[in-house]
């Protein structure tokens, strides 16, 4: 559902083969079992938040990074447009 919402908003989820979660900027918190989203600005780490799923964290990362992609036809249909 979050991935469809991100697509409807025109966000691009950042996939990463180098991440165990599959998403750039998302890691699993080993003790809590939840997912942490963060981005880097130079040498600083900027924490976005902690989420129940990797997809939710990836959507938050995409919103923060702000890379807009026009919605696809599937997303427009899901919104009833």
The label of the residue with tokens 């600005």 reads 41
Q: According to the model, what pLDDT value does residue 12 have?
A: 78
Let me know if 50 is exposed, middle or buried by CB neighbors in 10 A (0-12, 13-18, 19+).
middle
Instruction: Count other C-beta atoms under 10 Å from residue 52's C-beta.
Output: 11
Q: According to the model, what pLDDT value does residue 10 have?
A: 72
Helix (H, G, I), strand (E, B) or coil at 22: coil
Question: Which pTM does this prediction carry?
Answer: 0.69
Let me know if 30 is exposed, middle or buried by CB neighbors in 10 A (0-12, 13-18, 19+).
exposed
Per-residue pLDDT of the chain (81 residues; tens, 9 = 90+): 566 666 656 777 888 888 889 899 999 988 888 999 999 888 999 999 999 999 889 889 988 887 545 555 554 555 555
């Amino acid at each position: 559902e979050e991935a469809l919402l991100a697509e409807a908003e025109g966000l691009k989820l950042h996939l990463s083969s180098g991440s165990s979660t599959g998403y750039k900027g998302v890691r699993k918190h080993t003790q809590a079992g939840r997912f942490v989203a963060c981005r880097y600005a130079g040498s600083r780490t900027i924490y976005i938040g902690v989420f129940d799923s990797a997809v939710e964290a990836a959507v938050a990362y995409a919103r923060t990074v702000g890379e807009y992609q026009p919605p696809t036809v599937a997303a427009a249909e899901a919104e009833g447009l």
